[in-house]
A and B are shown apart, each in its own frame.
Chain A
């Protein structure tokens, strides 16, 4: 546990990340008032993923942790992508049948 746990992150970085997260929340709200058509969900999900990445990297200390931790998180994301890709494959290919 020591490799990641020993790293001391300065309050300045925490505050900076927090402000960035607040800014993205503001962008999310602002984007909700605009109609980007097909890009609506894409924009919302991009913002959400960016925020999640910042939280994982800085607040959860993955940026400062051993590579094994990153590997574990990568595995989780990989399996999540299996769920999404194969589920979407079903939805997208339903219309192909004659």
Chain B
């Protein structure tokens, strides 16, 4: 959209913003301002993302050739484990809620801050402590259980730093609970006058749904990890058959959290897409209520499907049938969202700005990821492709093609609101294109590899798989370029980017009615909401909302 380009010469940065309200290290590390905490989280999770990316690079380099010639098998086991642990618990789970969500949810509901600012700050410190434990485990030799910590492998047979890592995840889990709790209370109690539930932006609905899972699911992960520690440290038999335990019980408890955790990761991404599509299609979102309720449905149904990760673990056939059926049900609310976004595009006045490019990429990639999830939910197909690269490809299509792409979409969309400056459009569009091409080149061959029978988590493979693996590694290098580009041009834009103005996209929503960047208390006067969230069609050309 060219609005920002046309008017930027006349714009000035606001004098009173959350960035210049106070200075010094203390003003950041002791802040209660949700926006500053969001910025601190952006820096933190970006560092974890870079670290996870280094491990992914090393994994892909090893798989360039069929022989295990770069790393020993033990080292390779550590690399893919640490890639998974760092990416999932250090980046994907917190990602959108703690960064974009933290920054925007109070503003979107018309509040001055989250309900519990100190708990919000505490969540960041707890996250950092959790990550320090994880880094300590990595530096002192790493862990090689896989990110799933399956027992009795994790409790009996391995001598790597399982405890350190588990403690790190346990601690980071509390950060997640704090964030979820804050969002739930804020949405219930702190909405501005006139901000009814059905005027809430869909980003708020989706983060609310994710928060429910955070609060209800994360304690189960904590309990499970404590039980692993008790068995590993004190030899109390819980999961180890040799001690009278049951290893499948671990899988039940682990996946009871870890499957809904996938929805913690992707639901906020859905919210981002629901904001971007109507803005750049200049249309009211199609099926607001259906999208809102589908988020809640995903949060609820997401708790009923976990055993589809365990079809080959020896669970009962009848139980597997039920879980398979419910897995198919959970596809319905996801499909509702995709159809509604697509319907919103229909006859829209579509602008292909960078956030929209990412959003369109999201729809395609998430659809592939979601549909291949149905393959895996079908017991017969799952028996064939479980623990192969098919699963790896499916998961990355949802988590990278879906969540990461949505994160990038959101970061570009709200970057002018966060910083007051526009990102440079041309390199941003180029990076979106590179990410899309690199991503597909990396992960689509893995579907074929998995279907052909290549198992995951091995550092060597038969030579007939090499061509597809070379394609995948080549794609990973392209993807890395696409992902590194925003880091550079967004940092560049902090100083040299065009001044964005309050509402560079002429978007609806309360966040666009305040200054860019917003003042410490978000609004100079409490906003009064009189309209629905996506009233683009009645918007005139002259609308330029001023905070």
Q: Which residues of chain A have a CB within 8 Å of any CB of chain B?
A: 75-76, 79-80, 82-83, 86-87, 89-94, 96-97
Contacts and interface: CB of A to CB of B under 8 A. Distances in A.
A90 B216 contact: no
B316 A75 contact: no
B304 A97 contact: no
A94 B316 contact: yes
B216 A86 contact: no
A97 B316 contact: yes
Contact of A83 (B256, B316, B323): B256
B303 A93 contact: no
Contacts of B253: 83, 87
Nearest to B217: A79
A93 B323 CA distance: 13
B304 A90 contact: no
B319 A90 contact: yes
Q: Which 8 A-B pairs have the closest CB atoms?
A: A90-B319, A93-B316, A94-B316, A93-B318, A87-B252, A79-B216, A90-B315, A83-B256
A75 B303 CA distance: 12
A83 B216 CA distance: 11
The residue among A75, A79, A89, A90 with the most chain B CB atoms within 10 A of its own CB is: A90
A76 B315 CA distance: 25
Contacts of B307: 86, 90
Contacts of B304: 82, 86
Interface residues of B, number: 20
Contacts of B383: none
B316 A90 contact: yes
Contacts of B452: none
A91 B314 CA distance: 10
B249 interface: yes
The residue among A79, A80, A83 with the most chain B CB atoms within 10 A of its own CB is: A79
Interface in B243-268: 248-249, 252-253, 256
A71 B491 CA distance: 46
Contacts of B220: 80, 83
Contacts of A90: 248, 252, 307, 315-316, 319
Contacts of A83: 220, 252-253, 256
Nearest to A82: B303
B348 to A, nearest CB: 38
A82 B257 CA distance: 12
Nearest to B220: A83
A79 B304 CA distance: 10
Nearest to B188: A68
B538 interface: no
Given A83-B253, A89-B322, 15 more contacts: A79-B217, A80-B220, A82-B303, A83-B256, A86-B322, A89-B316, A90-B248, A90-B316, A93-B316, A93-B317, A93-B319, A94-B314, A94-B315, A96-B316, A96-B318
B216 A75 contact: yes
Contacts of A76: 215-216
Interface string B318-347: 110011000000000000000000000000
B319 to A, nearest CB: 4
A69 to B, nearest CB: 11
A89 to B, nearest CB: 6
25 contacts: A76-B216, A79-B217, A79-B303, A80-B220, A82-B304, A83-B220, A83-B252, A86-B307, A86-B319, A86-B323, A89-B316, A89-B318, A89-B319, A89-B322, A90-B252, A90-B315, A90-B319, A91-B316, A93-B316, A94-B316, A94-B319, A96-B316, A96-B318, A97-B316, A97-B317
Nearest to A98: B317
A92 B318 CA distance: 10
Nearest to A83: B256
Contacts of B248: 90
B222 to A, nearest CB: 13
A75 B216 CA distance: 8
Contacts of A82: 303-304
A82 B317 CA distance: 19
A31 to B, nearest CB: 20
The residue among B252, B319, B323 with the most chain A CB atoms within 10 A of its own CB is: B319
Contacts of A89: 316, 318-319, 322
Contacts of B217: 79
Contacts of B249: 87
Interface in B196-255: 215-217, 220, 248-249, 252-253
Interface in B81-132: none
Nearest to B216: A79
A16 to B, nearest CB: 29
B184 to A, nearest CB: 9
A88 to B, nearest CB: 10
A72 B249 CA distance: 27
A21 B315 CA distance: 38
Contacts of B318: 89, 93, 96-97
Contacts of A94: 314-316, 319
A94 B314 CA distance: 8
Contacts of B319: 86, 89-90, 93-94
A92 B304 CA distance: 18
